[in-house]
Amino acid sequence: MFLRPHTRTKNGTVYEYWTLEESVRTKDGPRQRTVATLGKLPGLNEEARVGWEHIRDVLDGRLNQGDLLREQPEPPVWARVDTARARVERLRHFGEVYLGLALWRRLKLGAFFDEAMVEGREAISWGTMACILVLARFCAPSSELQIAEFWYAKTALDDLLGVAPEQVNEDRLYRALDALLPHKEDLFRHFQRVYGELFGTTFDLLLYDITSTYFEGKMEGNPQAQRGYSRDGRPDCVQVCIALVVTPEGLPLAYEVFDGNRTDVTTVDEIVALMRDKYGHERRTWVMDRGMVSEDNLELLRENGAQYLVGTPKSLLKNYERHLLEENWETVEPGVEVKLCPAPDGGRETFVLCRSAGRIEKERAMREKQRERLQTALDKLKTHIDAPRRALRSRSQAERRVGRLFQKYPRAARLFQVNIGSTDDAHHKSRQRLTITISQREENREWAELSDGCYLLRTNLTGQDAATLWKTYIGLTQIEDSFRISKHDLGLRPIYHHKEDRTQAHILVCFLALVMWRTLQQWMNGCGLGDAPRKLLEQMAEVRSLDIVLPAATGTPIRLRTVSRPETHLAILLQKLGLPLPNKPKSI
């Protein structure tokens, strides 16, 4: 890497600045790429100047833009330097950890751990180590070994937190996991208070769903690691199930870890009790998908004075065939129609019939694809049975083959009727020959086409129209999005920890990182910047801290630690967020 001087003239004024360049290999040969721009650029003269000494105030939100703009400029310090020998050292990731630390303090997690974790003989407080674990999960998900040996030393966290890289090792990070886990329940209560202060969040409507995450290894030391239904498509691995409760805005409230072979419907009573203990007994509305629904669970919610809005098994649609044929649908958004229907037994519940044009096309395409493949497989089986020299002699064997085909193509299985019989063999009268007849079940095909794209909701809420109920239920997509963020962006899966407590602590760290992610999303929404934290993090990753070494005429080199200037669009985003970067070099 090397520094390159530049000059630019605007409105008769000559501006000087430097760029940090690096040589890269391309298919067209060596090329030079600009890593960072240093110095003063025209058009940004009005930008506030923030020094490294003000970092804590900026992250805590105590330094506002007005105070910065009133700051008097410092007198220039002149020195003679040899520009031919100027160099750059200690290039570090700054932007993403700076943003993550701002979110950590915005959520008052530093204050929480200072109060919750009693200070002992440790050289570095466990709250600080917990911060490092969560920031690493938020910025660059990796193992504790990767954090200690590679990631931490390449960031500016030693400047921001005051913890030297040699003090961050694998053992200390593992002990931090052990120290963090006992505060899980207190963190849930802490977030309840912080959400109310930051976003005015209420907790009268809760969304609940379950996912699973798998392990690499047998995990014989973790009794919760069991084989079960895998949402990750890894039935070959043991797993645990994670139940998550969020607000309609997508803010995570609490979670619970269940055995990997636990079915969704058996978890509701524990989660309802958990939320009742944390947030009181006031009336609350639960939104859950059909995997959680059973009559016992609904009765439990009614006994607790709770209201519910849940999905139902598709088999219940048969009770509303007449309503599907009627035309009095209400359009809630392009391609989605709903209508209110009474309970089939005349009870107090209300049912909401929903129909989605997008789902109609998707379900029909999936069913038709399976139908064609099942038809081909059945024809092949019939040819095999009818062949004189390749005839199957065992009826049970043929029935098992049909059963496997129906299991492989479940959407199309109900469209076919397959009968396996036997008859006398014309060539060997002492033997029985198998026969197979394949027919289409037209009544099932007609019902499948009628019910395509339709689903049914069930609720004991009163006084609300179908559109409002549907929009409330669709809020479950917030949980699905949280699961995607946790698994893909925050590296929740796979889990490599072998001990049960370490697994629980790993999931807690991922939960805290998810809270930061969702908080950033709400922060951006409040500033009119959309809801794409992923894009902002990618842009912040381009901001680096670096040391500029200038050989001086006095013989002692001048070392300045500074932060690269962000691109104009990123500078505007940070200004709207009220998060200025330190742009005054620090002499070191």
pLDDT tens digits, 485-507: 999 999 998 999 999 999 999 99
How far is the C-alpha of 427 from the C-alpha of 433, rounded, in Å? 10
Q: How many CB atoms lie within 10 A of CB 394?
A: 9
Query: Span 254-274, mean pLDDT?
Result: 89
Element (H, E) at 536: helix 533-540
Out of 182-186, 283-287, 295-299, give the one with best mean pLDDT: 182-186
The pLDDT value recorded for residue 488 is 92
Q: Give the burial class of 311: count Cβ atoms within 10 A of its Cβ; 0-12 exposed, 13-18 middle, 19 or more buried.
A: buried
Distances from the Cα of 389 to the Cαs of 162, 378, 382, 384, 426, in angstroms?
Answer: 82, 19, 13, 9, 13
pLDDT for 23: 76
Neighbours of 335 (CB within 10 A): 14
Query: What pLDDT, in 10s, does the model give residues 177-193?
Result: 999 999 999 999 999 89
pLDDT digit string, tens, across residues 206-228: 889 999 999 998 888 899 999 99
Q: Given a cut of 60, is residue 244 above it in pLDDT? A: yes
The pLDDT value given to residue 45: 40
| CB atoms near residue 484 (< 10 Å) | 12
Between 95-106 and 126-139, two packed helices, what is the crossing angle to 10 degrees? 130
Q: Which pLDDT score, from 0 to 100, does residue 212 have?
A: 94
For residue 481, the cross-strand partners are none
Residue 332 clears pLDDT 60, i.e. is over it:
yes
What is the pLDDT, as a whole number, of residue 280?
A: 63
CA dist 250 → 141, 247, 530 (Å): 21, 5, 15
**55: number of Cβ within 10 Å:** 19
pLDDT classification of 385: cutoffs 50, 70, 90: confident
Q: What global pTM score does this model have?
A: 0.82
Bigger pLDDT: 17 or 461?
Answer: 461
**Identity (one letter) of the amino acid at 121?**
R
With a cut of 50, say whether residue 41 has pLDDT above it: no
Torsion sign, CA atoms 406, 409, 413, 418: negative
Q: What pLDDT score does 44 carry?
A: 41
Residue 364: per-residue pLDDT: 92
What pLDDT is stored for residue 392 in this prediction?
54
Report H helices in 211-310. 268-279, 295-303
Residue 129: band (very low, low, confident or very high) from pLDDT cuts 50, 70, 90: very high
Instruction: Name the percent of the chain lying above pLDDT 70.
Output: 89
pLDDT at 69: 41
How much is the pLDDT for 28?
73
350-366 pLDDT, tens digit each? 899 999 999 999 999 99
CB burial of 84-97 (b: ≥16 within 10 Å; e: otherwise) equals eebebebbbbbbbb
What does the pLDDT average to over 261-276? 87
Q: Check residue 42 and give its pLDDT.
A: 42
Contact 559, 547 (CB under 8 A): yes
Mean pLDDT, residues 433-459 taken together: 89
For the ranges 60-74, 393-407, 411-425, 509-523, the one whose mean pLDDT is highest: 509-523
Looking at residue 43, what is its pLDDT?
42
Q: What is the pLDDT of residue 204?
A: 82
What does the domain layout of the chain look like in residue ranges? Answer: 2-94+543-587, 308-462
Determine the average pLDDT of the residues in 393-413.
87
Indicate the average pLDDT of the chain: 86
Element (H, E) at 129: helix 126-139
As to burial, measured by CB atoms within 10 angstroms (0-12 exposed, 13-18 middle, 19+ buried), residue 230 is: middle
